C-alpha cells in the first residue's frame, strides 16, 4: 500500500489509545495529564519505532532489499523493533550495537538473540575518538554481505529520516483527531528526545494542522550527542517537503529540555526511578529507565516548577521500551 504515493507496510496496531491519568494529575495538583499509548503498537512488545518502520521497510521492500542494517545501543528499542519487522516481512537483519557484548543476554538484546538476527559490536557511539574504528568495522562487514550477494537497506539510529519521521507526522494527526472526538484541547505534548525524529514528526503534524500546542522534548542524551541527526526544525520541514507541504518550522518552535539526562544516555537518575515508581503505583503503567522514565521525570519537574497552569492539558507520549526495564533491576529496586 502507499500513502502520499510513498510505499508503506502495516506493522503497528493503530490508532493507539489516549487516556487520562487522573491519579497522577491529582498527585501533582494539575495540570490535566493524558497519555498517548504508543507502547501499545504491538510489534515485538510495542513502541514508537513501529510507526517509522512502516515507511522505512516499505521503501526497503520496494528496493528489493533482503537485509536490513541499523544501529543502536545494546539495549536499543529501535534495533529490537527493526529486527522484529524484518522477521515479519521475511527479511534478514544486521544490528550494529554500541559497546561491549554483555555477559548475559537480557532485555532487548535477549529478544534480538531469540529472533536470530545477526549483530556486530562496535565501540561506544558517543566516543568520537572511536568513530574511524567503528566505520571500518561496519564497512568491512557490509562489504562481506554485499560481496555475498545480499541486498542491504541501511536505517540510521532511531530511524530518524524524513521517511521514518513521517510516521510521527501521522501520529500527531491521529492524536489531534482523538482529542477532538473526546472533547479536549491539548496544550502541550511531551516526548522523550534522543535522535529527535519522533519530536520532529510530531512538530510537523502539529504545524500542518495549525495547532498552537507546544511539542516539548525531554532529552535523554547530552546536548549535541544525537548521532549526527539534523536539527529538529530541519527534520520537521523535510517531512513537510516529502509530502508536498511547506511547513516553515523555525528553530524557535523547537523546545527541548536538556536538564534531565543525568550522567548520560542509559544512566539512570534518582528522578527517573521516582517517576517510574510513581506512574506504576498510581496508574498501573510502566515506563523504562532510558527514555520514558527520564521524559516523565522531566515533565513532573516542569509541573512542580509551575511551568504549566492547572487548567492546561498535557499529553505524555509513551514511546514504549518495556524490555529495557529488566537490565535495570538493581537501579529500580536495589539488591
Report the catalytic residues: 76
- Grid coordinates standing for 217? 522534548
Residues 6+ apart with CB under 8 A from 243: 4, 6, 166, 169
Q: Which segments of the chain are extended strands (E)?
A: 2-3, 6-7, 18-20, 32-37, 67-73, 92-98, 118-122, 152-155, 188-193, 214-219, 255-257, 313-318
- Give residue for cell 568495522: 137
Q: Could you tell me which residues come within 8 angstroms of residue 335 by beta carbon, excluding any fewer than 6 positions away?
A: none
Q: DSSP string of 142-182?
A: HHHHHHTT--EEEE-GGG-SHHHHHHHHHHHHHHHHHHHHH
CA distance 74 to 97: 5
Q: How many CA atoms lie within 13 A of 308 on its CB side?
A: 28
Amino acid at each position: 500500500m502507499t500513502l502520499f504515493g510513498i510505499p508503506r507496510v502495516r506493522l503497528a496496531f493503530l490508532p493507539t489509545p489516549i487516556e487520562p491519568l487522573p491519579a497522577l494529575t491529582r498527585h501533582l495538583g494539575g495540570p490535566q495529564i493524558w497519555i498517548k499509548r504508543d507502547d501499545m503498537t504491538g510489534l515485538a512488545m510495542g513502541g514508537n519505532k513501529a510507526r517509522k518502520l512502516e515507511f522505512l521497510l516499505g521503501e526497503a521492500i520496494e528496493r528489493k532489499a533482503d537485509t536490513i542494517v541499523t544501529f543502536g545501543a545494546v539495549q536499543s528499542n529501535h534495533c529490537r523493533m527493526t529486527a522484529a519487522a524484518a522477521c515479519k516481512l521475511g527479511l534478514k537483519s544486521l544490528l550494529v550495537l554500541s559497546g561491549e557484548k554483555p555477559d548475559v543476554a537480557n532485555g532487548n538484546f535477549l529478544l534480538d538473540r531469540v529472533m536470530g538476527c545477526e549483530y556486530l559490536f562496535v565501540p561506544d557511539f558517543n566516543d568520537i575518538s572511536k568513530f574511524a574504528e567503528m566505520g571500518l568495522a561496519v564497512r568491512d562487514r557490509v562489504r562481506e554481505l554485499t560481496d555475498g550477494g545480499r541486498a542491504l537497506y541501511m536505517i540510521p539510529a532511531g530511524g530518524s529520516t524524513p521517511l521514518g519521521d513521517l510516521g510521527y507526522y501521522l501520529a500527531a494527526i491521529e492524536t489531534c483527531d482523538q482529542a477532538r472526538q473526546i472533547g479536549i484541547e491539548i496544550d502541550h505534548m511531551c516526548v522523550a528526545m534522543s535522535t529527535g525524529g519522533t519530536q520532529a514528526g510530531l512538530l510537523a503534524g502539529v504545524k500542518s494542522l495549525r495547532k498552537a500546542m507546544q511539542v516539548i522534548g525531554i532529552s535523554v542524551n547530552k546536548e549535541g550527542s544525537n548521532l549526527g541527526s539534523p536539527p529538529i526544525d530541519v527534520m520537521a520541514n523535510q517531512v513537510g517537503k516529502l509530502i508536498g507541504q511547506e511547513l516553515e518550522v523555525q528553530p524557535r518552535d523547537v523546545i527541548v529540555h536538556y536538564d534531565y539526562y543525568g550522567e548520560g544516555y542509559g544512566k539512570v537518575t534518582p528522578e527517573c526511578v521516582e517517576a517510574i515508581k510513581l506512574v506504576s503505583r498510581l496508574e498501573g503503567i510502566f515506563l523504562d529507565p532510558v527514555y520514558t522514565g527520564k521524559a516523565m521525570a522531566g515533565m513532573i519537574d516542569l509541573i512542580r516548577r509551575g511551568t504549566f497552569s492547572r487548567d492546561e492539558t498535557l499529553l505524555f507520549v509513551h514511546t514504549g521500551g518495556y524490555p529495557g526495564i529488566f537490565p535495570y533491576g538493581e537501579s529500580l529496586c536495589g539488591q
